[in-house]
Every structure is written in C-alpha cells, then in structure tokens.
Chain A
Amino acid sequence: MVALPGSFETFHPVITFTWFACAIVLTVMATNPFWTGCACAGAAAFLLTVRGRAGWKLILGMALAFIVLLLANGLFNPQGRTVLFTYFGRPYTLESVLYGTQTAGMFVAVMLLFGSYDRVMTADRFTYLFGHAMPAITLVLTMVLRLVPDYLRKAKQIASARDGIGKGAAESGFGGRVRHGSAILGALTTWALEAGVVTADSMRSRGYGTRKTRTQHARYRFGARDVVMLAVLIVCVGLAFAGVFSGASSVDFLPRIAFPPVTGFSMLSFLAYAAFMFTPFVVDAGKRISWRSSISKI
C-alpha cells in the first residue's frame, strides 16, 4: 500500500519515532482505565488507517488475549476486598479482575502500537535516525534485512534443484526429510560464506572503513509541517507527562479501587493525552477525506 500523500507516515522520522516512543512510554506508565481505554482506541484507530482491513485480524486477536488475560489475573492474584466466589479455598475477587482488565488493556494498547510501528517506522527510517549515533550497528541491521530474504530465496532454489533430480523432500520418509533439510542447510552455509566474501570485497572496494567518519545520505527534510507537528506533540506530551507524575493517571486497584480526585488539571492532562494518542489517526483521516475530495475534482 502506497502511503497517502501527507499522511502521518510521511512526516520526518524524528516525528514518527518520537510519537511511537512517547505513546508506548505513556501507555505503560498510566494505570488509569480511562487513559488505557483511550490508548487502545487511538492505537486501534491508527492501526486500521495504516493497515486497512488487515488490521482487524490483529485487533480481534488482541480482543481474545484481552479476555484471557483479565480472567487469568483473577486466578493468580487473590488480593482484593470484594470476593466473587472461592475455588479450592482461594478467593476470586472483583478488584483482581478489574486490575487484570487494566493490565490487559495496557498490553493490548502496546501490541496495537507495535502493529502499526513496523509499517510506519520502516528499517530505512530507523537507520536514518540512528545512523549518526551508531553507524556500525545500523549498517549491520540493513545488511541483515537484505540477507534474510536472500537466504530464503536461495534455499528455495536449492530445494527446487534437488526436486529436479529426484532428491526432493517428497521422495522419502522422515529420515529422508532430515537428510534433505541438512543437505540444503549445508549448501546454504557454503553459499553464504562465498557470497559473504564477495560482499566484504565490494564494501572494502567502495571505501568502507577508509575514513573515520561515515556520513549519511539525507533522504528526509525537516519541513515546516514537521516543525508544527513537533510543537503540537511537545505540548501534548508535556501536559500528559505532568499528569502522569502528578498522579492523575494512577489508580489503585488493590486492595480496593481508588480513583484520584478529578481536578481541572487532571482533566487537562487527560485531554492532552487523548489528543496525543489520536493525532496520527486524525492526521490520516483528515488527509484521506481531503484527498478523496481532491481526487473527485481531478
């Protein structure tokens, strides 16, 4: 799927990475069901705009995990005042289930964020960000990203070559299959070593390691809209963190449920957090609408 022009994933990597990093940290730090519910909703909405229909699969899976986790917490954690029932002499408490709901919600929100993370923060955007700080590691990362599909392709070729001389996996039983697999693995290893020598030659031939400082090809420009977006994010994140540290996002579940007092400031920080979590979705949805109307004009 081609990124829609102007959508959240087309912002500078600094912006997108900051958003993901702050979103995950804030979600993990907040223990307030309202905050966590907001995180789940924002992450799910963004996932659906990024992945389209394929996003539902992850959301449904996570819904299942959510139910299992919240019920399981009651089994493992006997604390809490309101006992629903007892089994084998152990209490199963309401508070424990609610606490499970909270942690499960946090888990689901983070998983949903990761669901859109690898789509938005592609490897080249990540390496662009960290290439300055750790050039060697990022280079290794890009090489690994290339090698994995390469190995798979070669393994397929070797397997199909062996099929063509009657040495394929289908020709024999379990022992044959093991021999078949190890033969492919052996050939693959030899090939990888040979190819590795060529790659190393190619790198040295192109000056790798001849200069102390490696520079980086600058593919992204930090434009005006990135500045505006960064300002918005800083304000929201600042307010949200202030809320987290002042305790507005903390709820005690055990031994009994205690919400923090609702103040003007706690409401403000919650709204800032909600705005922050929904920013990518709002950007994408807005762009989608304006793009659709501009296409209808074309």
Chain B
Amino acid sequence: MAQFDIQDLTFAYPERDQRALDGVTLQIERGSYVCVCGLSGCGKTTLLRHLKTVLAPCGQTTGTVLFEGRPLQEVPLADQAQFIGFVMQDPDAQLVTDKVWHELAFGLESLGTDPRVMRLRVAEMASYFGIQDWFHKDVGELSGGQKQLLNLASIMAMQPSVLVLDEPTSQLDPIAAADFLNTVRKINVELGTTVIITEHRLEDVFSTADMVVVMDQGRAILHGAPQKVAQALHERQSAMTFALPAPVRVFYGVAPTRSSQKSAWEERAVPTQDVQEPIPLTVREGRTWLLSYVDAHELPVRSLPDEPVLDRAQEGAGQKPAVQLKDVWFRYERAAPDVLRGVDLEVPQGELFALLGGNGTGKSTLLKCLCGICKPYRGTVRVLGRRLAEWKSGTLFHGGLAMLPQDPQNLFVKKTVRLDLEEMLPDVSRSERDVRIAQVARLCRVEAQLDQHPLDLSGGEQQRAALAKVLLCEPQVLLLDEPTKGIDAFFKRTLAEVLQGLVRSGVAVIMVSHDVEFCARYADSVSLFFDGSVVTTNTPRAFFAMNSFYTTAANRMSRHVFANAVTDEDVIELCRG
C-alpha cells in the first residue's frame, strides 16, 4: 500500500478560472524520497498542501487523497498532526514560541504527550540535530539556517512517517541549505521517513530523489526516476531544463553532435552503446563521463583562449570609477570587532560586478557603507568621483545610487505595485509619471503585475517589482544584496537579462551574492570578500578556474580535463572541439 495515493486530484481557487491542480494522479511509496519540481506558480505548493487537511486551501476540490489506504479527511486531525510533518518556506513565521526548547516541545504538548515521554523525545531530537548548544536560547538569536533546522527538529520530535517540505531552503544561504538538505537526506535514509520536497535548487535534490515529479500548469506532466525525467524534459525542450544539475545540462548540450556523429559511426559499424549510458547526475558521475567522452573523441583543445588580464589601473585611466573605496574600516559599535578591515575596491561604470564570500564576512555591511547607511570610521568612499559627504542630502539617491535590499518585500509599502512605484515620483506630473512607470515596468517585465498587491506576487516577480522601484531613482550605481535568493532558475535568467540591459546603458551594477553559478555566467568581474576585506578581483573565468571548492559545478566536473571551463557552455564548447 502506498503511503499517499493521489487520485485524479483537481483543484481551483475561488474566483479563478484556471485550475491550480488538474487531474493529478500519483503514488508515493513508503520510505521514498520524492522531489516535486516545476516553474514558479505551477501548483507545487498547492499539491503539497493537499497532503494535510488543516493546510489544504479553500476552493473547489475533486478527486481523492488516500493516506495509508484511508481517505485523508477521515484520518483524525491529531493523527495527521503527528504522522504528517510539514515544513514551510519561511523559517521565522513558522516558529510559534520564544524559546528553542519550547519550540521542540510544542507539537508534543499539543498532542497531550505524557511529560516523561516528552522529556525523552525532546532530548533525543536535540541531540540528533545537534541543538544542545542552543537549547536554552531565544529563537530570535538563531540564524536562518538554525531556525529552519529547529523547525525540522520540532516536527521530527513527533515522529512523523511522512515529511513534507515546501521549498524549505529558499530563504537560506547555500551552505545552510546544503546542511539542511543533508539532514533531510539523513532522516530519509536512517529513519525511513518518507520525504516529499519541492525545491528550486535542484542541484542538491535531483540526484538523491527516488522519484521526480514535474508539474506544469497544475498537471503532473512527468514522474519517474531522475534520469528518465531528465531525458523526457530534454526531449520536450522544456523550460525546466535550465534548472537541471550542471552535469545533465552539459550531457545534453553535447548530445546533438553526438547523435549526428552516431549516425556516422553506425555506417562505420561502431557499437552505439553510449546512447544507453546513464545520464550523469552528480559532479562525480559527470567527471567520469567527461573523462570517457574526452578519451573517446581525442579532443584537441583542452582550454579556452585566455582572456586579457584584468587591469583596473589601465582600463580606468580615462573615466572616473563608479565606486571607489580606499582603506575603509567599519564597526557597528565602539566595543564590537571590526566588520570591514581596510577595504580597497574600485568598480568602473558599465560593469556587472559580483562580490562573493561566506556568511557574515561583511559583504552586506560593505553595501550599507556605500549608500551611507553605515558610516566608516576610517577611509573614504567615493561614488561617481565624489565623496559621500559631498553629495548634498537627497541628491545621492536621485541619479546617483540605489540599493535593492536582500528581502525585496521590505520595499513594498503600498496596496499595489503601481502605487508603490508612484511613491518614488512625488514631484512629477501625472502624464510623465505614467510614462516613466510604463518604461520601468517594461524594463523589469512587471507590466502584467502592476495592479496586483505586491505580496501576492511570486518570489521572482517581487524581486523584479522591487527592482523597478529602485530603478526609478535612476541610479548610476545599482547595489544588489543577494538578488538571486529564493528565485528559480527560469526567473534568474530573466533577472540577468534585465541587469545586462542596465549595464549596457552604462550603469554599474554591484551585487553581493552566494550564487556562484549566477556570478560565473553573468558577471564581468568577480571579487572574493574574506575577513573584512577584498582578497582578489578577476574575470569570472580566471577567478573560478583558480578555485577548487568555491567554484561552479561545471568547473568542478571538468577541471581534470579542461583548464579553464567555468560555465556549462564552456564545457560544451570544448567538448564539441
């Protein structure tokens, strides 16, 4: 008997014509690891929420969901609370109480568990998840990654048989996300708990899943083993292929020439086994595959031509840099340690510059120093050649510089996107205002969302609407704090196109990011930020080819064969010879 048997589930939200779920039929086996993926708004979350009665959205539902053979509605709510664990996206809002220990006990308290049993369970979970050290802390003191682990632990304390996770890592940085997903994997393997997860960071979950379900416009269009799904997606030329792990994309990127060669080989009666060869899902499999591929094809070129060395002194001789920092030191409080320790940095105009680095190294603080929110106690910050103090109040943010914060929601203060945009143009005539809003909406591709409530938009749409608002400052220097956080692969491409358009028009875009893949593909220059200062600055290719750990999947998979291939395209180009 399957754990969940979903039969012809159809659902529509009230007052919407389009079905959010359309005839979904799925069997989820006990102990399996199921990854549900699809573009934003495809119905993943709606599907997951139907797996627990109290979370199921209101609307018109037909079809049935059987939990261990019984219709879900007939399973008592207390049993559902215990056996079906649900972890949501927002690490903060999910927490109910103020103390870590109380959060762990909350579910058990609600279920009326005997205090002696509860003591044991709480102690057990705190030990399993390594929470002992912060057991007595206030939840407010925890980092995002710790909060989400706590959410997971407090659900595991109830000993569920199924764990449903709805984009659990979208608010976390990559290291905390990997840590979280490893724990989920460990629970699945060691405890046999069924895992049903939606994720846009497919690199980490695609290869570990037993079954991948692809959703599109409310339908489960594909389901099966990851390799089969990857193949089917490729055959359909689906937009979802952008989200697949790098080894898969490289494999299929190389494939067209392979198939044409295949026919040539057939004439020469070369065995065509490699058509059946397994698709590489992980970097390790990718390395093995690439090595055999290169050996079989005796590729002549093993590296891409070197790019000219990045020399800021020479190229910036003619024009003044967009941003210039000299020996900048900053600390938040008199007694606190230094966050910035002598930062030297120069970014020319018309460039997409990415600042990479670990958590808490001071990257976001650097951005705050650039726009004057934080005041350095030593050193100078120049924007467009002028020191920050020389900008008269208010002029800096009109045609000078503007910042998109990490959480774009923080920028929305009005009922619709249009009103929010109008807030930026208080002293402009009605007709001109409409023209400028139309322009910026077109640039950021939020024309269709102008009259919606900002918080009703998807993550990617919110990001672009916030960007539109920031761009109404007409900045020459645009600061972005983690712009790709919580956005799926498809929206990342759209964002990149918008940013590249800005760069072409001469804007300097400075972004702080964890997203190695995004920076490698789209940035013009990359710096590593460590221990309060900029360690190195280079072109993405030279930068990532030098690193062995802090680099792209494509580079890690190809570095034993190719010298400086950084993106999927690089690897594909070299494979084709």
> Do the beta carbons of B101 and A217 come within 8 Å of each other?
yes
In the assembled complex, A171 has its CB within 8 A of some CB on chain B: yes
> Do the beta carbons of B88 and A201 come within 8 Å of each other?
yes
Residues of B within 8 A of A164 (CB): 368, 371, 373, 402-405, 470, 479
> Do the beta carbons of A198 and B140 come within 8 Å of each other?
no
In the assembled complex, A83 has its CB within 8 A of some CB on chain B: no
Of the candidates B109, B414, B424, the one whose C-beta lies within 8 Å of that of A217 is B109
Of the candidates B93, B118, B397, the one whose C-beta lies within 8 Å of that of A215 is B118
Quick one: given A149-B140, A216-B109, are A210 and B413 in contact (CB under 8 Å)? no
The 8 A CB mask of B88-119 against A (1 = contact, 0 = none) is 10101111111101101111111111111011
> Do the beta carbons of A214 and B99 come within 8 Å of each other?
no
> Do the beta carbons of A215 and B140 come within 8 Å of each other?
no
Complex Cα–Cα for A162 and B111 (A): 44
Complex Cα–Cα for A183 and B412 (A): 9
Complex Cα–Cα for A139 and B139 (A): 15
> Do the beta carbons of A165 and B118 come within 8 Å of each other?
no
In the assembled complex, B184 has its CB within 8 A of some CB on chain A: no
CB distance from B402 to the nearest CB of A (A): 5
> Do the beta carbons of A194 and B158 come within 8 Å of each other?
no
In the assembled complex, A207 has its CB within 8 A of some CB on chain B: yes
In the assembled complex, A186 has its CB within 8 A of some CB on chain B: yes
> Do the beta carbons of B140 and A202 come within 8 Å of each other?
no
Summarize B's interface: helix, strand, loop or mixed.
mixed
> Do the beta carbons of B122 and A217 come within 8 Å of each other?
yes
> Do the beta carbons of A214 and B110 come within 8 Å of each other?
yes
Of the candidates B55, B102, B424, the one whose C-beta lies within 8 Å of that of A165 is B424
> Do the beta carbons of A165 and B78 come within 8 Å of each other?
no
Q: Which of B472-498 contact A (CB under 8 A)?
A: 473, 479
> Do the beta carbons of B78 and A207 come within 8 Å of each other?
yes
Complex Cα–Cα for A139 and B407 (A): 30
In the assembled complex, A86 has its CB within 8 A of some CB on chain B: no
Q: Which of A144-179 contact B (CB under 8 A)?
A: 145-146, 149-150, 153, 157-158, 160-167, 170-171
The 8 A CB mask of A126-151 against B (1 = contact, 0 = none) is 00000000000001001101100110
CB distance from A56 to the nearest CB of B (A): 21
> Do the beta carbons of A163 and B371 come within 8 Å of each other?
yes
The 8 A CB mask of A177-218 against B (1 = contact, 0 = none) is 000000110110011001110110111111111111111111
In the assembled complex, B259 has its CB within 8 A of some CB on chain A: no
Residues of A within 8 A of B402 (CB): 164-166
Residues of B within 8 A of A202 (CB): 88, 93-96, 151
In the assembled complex, A123 has its CB within 8 A of some CB on chain B: yes
In the assembled complex, B54 has its CB within 8 A of some CB on chain A: yes
The 8 A CB mask of A37-69 against B (1 = contact, 0 = none) is 000000000000000000000000000000000
In the assembled complex, A124 has its CB within 8 A of some CB on chain B: yes
Residues of A within 8 A of B396 (CB): 166
Of the candidates A139, A146, A165, A203, the one whose C-beta lies within 8 Å of that of B397 is A165
In the assembled complex, A297 has its CB within 8 A of some CB on chain B: no
Quick one: given A166-B394, A166-B396, A204-B54, are A153 and B424 in contact (CB under 8 Å)? no
Residues of A within 8 A of B114 (CB): 215
Quick one: given A202-B94, A207-B77, are A218 and B409 in contact (CB under 8 Å)? no
CB distance from A166 to the nearest CB of B (A): 2
In the assembled complex, B398 has its CB within 8 A of some CB on chain A: yes
Complex Cα–Cα for A207 and B53 (A): 11
In the assembled complex, B411 has its CB within 8 A of some CB on chain A: yes
> Do the beta carbons of A157 and B410 come within 8 Å of each other?
yes
> Do the beta carbons of B368 and A190 come within 8 Å of each other?
no
In the assembled complex, B455 has its CB within 8 A of some CB on chain A: yes
CB distance from A211 to the nearest CB of B (A): 4
In the assembled complex, B283 has its CB within 8 A of some CB on chain A: no
Residues of A within 8 A of B424 (CB): 165, 167
Complex Cα–Cα for A174 and B564 (A): 57
Of the candidates B101, B116, B393, the one whose C-beta lies within 8 Å of that of A170 is B393
> Do the beta carbons of B158 and A206 come within 8 Å of each other?
yes
Complex Cα–Cα for A209 and B140 (A): 25
CB distance from B475 to the nearest CB of A (A): 9
CB distance from A143 to the nearest CB of B (A): 6
Residues of B within 8 A of A201 (CB): 54-55, 88
The 8 A CB mask of B77-88 against A (1 = contact, 0 = none) is 110011000101
Complex Cα–Cα for A183 and B422 (A): 14
In the complex, what residue of chain B is closest to A196 when comparing beta carbons? B93
Complex Cα–Cα for A142 and B105 (A): 13
CB distance from A154 to the nearest CB of B (A): 8
> Do the beta carbons of B140 and A153 come within 8 Å of each other?
yes
The 8 A CB mask of A6-40 against B (1 = contact, 0 = none) is 00000000000000000000000000000000000
Complex Cα–Cα for A216 and B102 (A): 9
CB distance from A20 to the nearest CB of B (A): 21
Complex Cα–Cα for A124 and B136 (A): 10
CB distance from B75 to the nearest CB of A (A): 12
Residues of A within 8 A of B115 (CB): 215-218
> Do the beta carbons of A198 and B118 come within 8 Å of each other?
no
Residues of A within 8 A of B112 (CB): 211-215
Complex Cα–Cα for A217 and B120 (A): 10
Of the candidates A160, A195, A207, A219, the one whose C-beta lies within 8 Å of that of B373 is A160
Q: Which of B357-398 contact A (CB under 8 A)?
A: 368, 371-373, 393-394, 396-398
Residues of A within 8 A of B113 (CB): 215
Q: Which of B520-574 contact A (CB under 8 A)?
A: none
CB distance from A207 to the nearest CB of B (A): 3
Residues of A within 8 A of B (CB): 123-124, 139, 142-143, 145-146, 149-150, 153, 157-158, 160-167, 170-171, 183-184, 186-187, 190-191, 194-196, 198-199, 201-219
Q: Mind listing 30 A-B residue pairs with CB under 8 Å? A: A146-B139, A149-B140, A161-B411, A162-B411, A163-B372, A164-B403, A164-B470, A166-B394, A166-B398, A166-B402, A166-B473, A186-B414, A191-B409, A196-B93, A198-B88, A198-B94, A199-B93, A201-B88, A202-B88, A202-B93, A202-B94, A204-B55, A205-B55, A206-B81, A206-B158, A208-B106, A209-B110, A217-B102, A217-B118, A218-B116
- Given A202-B151, A212-B112, output 7 extra A-B contacts at Cβ < 8 Å: A146-B95, A157-B407, A164-B403, A198-B88, A202-B95, A210-B78, A215-B114
